[in-house]
Structure 1
Amino acid sequence: MKVDDHDLFTPWLERWALTPDGEPIMTPGSCLMPVRQGAAPAMLKIAVDDEERYGNLLMTWWDGKGAARVLAHHDEGLLLERAMGPRSLMHMALNGEDDEATRILCRALARLHAPRPTPPPSLVELEPWFASLRTAAARYGGPYSNCLRTARTLLTDPQDVVVLHGDMHHDNVLDFGARGWLAIDPKRVRGERGYDYANLICNPQLPTVTDPERFARQVDVICDAAGIEQKRLLQWVQAFAGLSAAWFMEDDEQEAATGQLKVAALAASALHARHV
């Protein structure tokens, strides 16, 4: 789809009386356009695959508590309040405020994980999400097999099961000004809350992700902010880093996969130091 092709957006602009306020943004799973509804800035999002459609349902279910507020929703179309604040968690993490960025992410997750009065939309369990790690372990062995063993331990005996965000990282929690820091772009998965926190440490977009000092520091910050036992978090980091590496290998991104395996090795080393 061409970025200058507005035909996809026209029915939605007409449905919700929207005015374009920027150029379209195309991602593998959705098409977005900054818009205005009257004078109010908003973001129009059109899902182009089932995963994004289910994510839209989850955004609606969260009802603006910890996540961007849904202004309208119909089929694959979603209208969200738009983040207009100037701050960026990625910028903070790379400019001396890594700890505070992590604490903000932890607070956002705590709000998302909190119980709701109504049942959530259709979800998938976390265990099937690790299929790629099982495939990588069978194909490559080595660290992938080690990560898989840890994942199986966690998935066999889940604790603190919640509705997960599923893709929590520094660019999926945005500055909404007076409304604070709010999440966007969830997946539709349920499982142990530690999975979401592991992603904060493994974020491959952070060039500091394999720094041992940064790793140890962020483990401490998350355990304190989220009330997670350190061993459990380290196990989730090892499992998730292996899964992330497996996903990168499927896309033939070997350098990125190597980086994630380095994170897995840091977690494994920290676990070994605890004599577990």
Structure 2
Amino acid sequence: MLKLSTGDDERRAGVVLRWWDGDAAVCVLAASTDGDALLLERARDTRSLAALARTGEEGDAAATAILCAVASRLHAPRPVAPGRLQRQVALIADAAGLERARLLAWCAAWAGLSAAWHIEDGTPPETALAVADMALEALQA
């Protein structure tokens, strides 16, 4: 299926679809360099959540459970693209006139603090700890 973007929101949606990479969402098979055109796989299931929800209380509960499961997969932590932290640090350091090492040290400190808050709140700290590890590795490179 060809999707043509008509605005910034739709272009950002294309970025998110590429990031999800087909996990609980359609796959982006190809994209134009400007992000205005996406070639998407076609979702071809004959089942309908709306029809399931209209079958009664059990069907409504089942449709809701399916929606929640998909939302959970879409919002699950995902691996960071290789080299992204280094690219972002270079870009930000240059634009803000900061030393690379100072920015990386700040990233490591912020991520460590974020992990501590996650632990205190009883939520998973893995993403924050991974960012701290990447920042510390980049500092040593």
The TM-score bracket by the shorter chain reads: 0.5 to 0.7
* Mapping 1:97-246, distance limit 5 Å: 97-118=59-80
Structure 1 segments, 4+ long, off by >2 Å, are none
Amino acid at match of 1:49: G
Tell me which of 22, 29, 52 is aligned to 1:92: 52
Partners of 1:117 and 1:108 in 2: CA distance: 18
What's the RMSD between the two structures over aligned residues? 2.0
Report the CA distance shift for 1:84/1:160 in structure 2 as closer, same or farther (over 3 A): farther
Report the CA distance shift for 1:100/1:49 in structure 2 as closer, same or farther (over 3 A): same
Q: Secondary structure at the match of 1:59?
A: helix
Alignment partner, residue 93 of structure 2? none
Shift of 1:81: 0.9
Higher strand share: 1
Partners of 2:18 and 2:67 in 1: CA distance: 20
Q: Secondary structure at the match of 2:25?
A: coil
Amino acid at match of 1:101: A
Q: TM-score, normalised by structure 2?
A: 0.53
Partners of 1:55 and 1:160 in 2: CA distance: 31
Are residue 78 (structure 1) and residue 45 (structure 2) matched?
no
Q: Secondary structure at the match of 1:116?
A: coil
Alignment partner, residue 46 of structure 1? 4
Tell me which of 2, 21, 32 is aligned to 1:63: 21
Partners of 2:71 and 2:54 in 1: CA distance: 21
* Mapping 1:13-32, distance limit 5 Å: none
Amino acid at match of 1:113: H
Report the CA distance shift for 1:160/1:71 in structure 2 as closer, same or farther (over 3 A): farther
Report the CA distance shift for 1:46/1:66 in structure 2 as closer, same or farther (over 3 A): same
| Greater radius of gyration (CA) | 2
Name stretches of at least 5 consecutive residues in structure 2 with no aligned partner: 82-120, 124-141
Shift of 1:160: 9.9
Report the CA distance shift for 1:67/1:95 in structure 2 as closer, same or farther (over 3 A): same
Partners of 2:49 and 2:80 in 1: CA distance: 31
Q: TM-score, normalised by structure 1?
A: 0.28
Aligned-pair identity in percent equals: 47
**Matched length:** 80
Q: Secondary structure at the match of 1:64?
A: coil
Name stretches of at least 5 consecutive residues in structure 1 with no aligned partner: 1-42, 120-158, 162-276
Partners of 1:160 and 1:52 in 2: CA distance: 35
1:233-262 superposed Cα distances (whole Å, 9 cap, x missing partner): xxxxxxxxxxxxxxxxxxxxxxxxxxxxxx
Shift of 1:95: 1.6
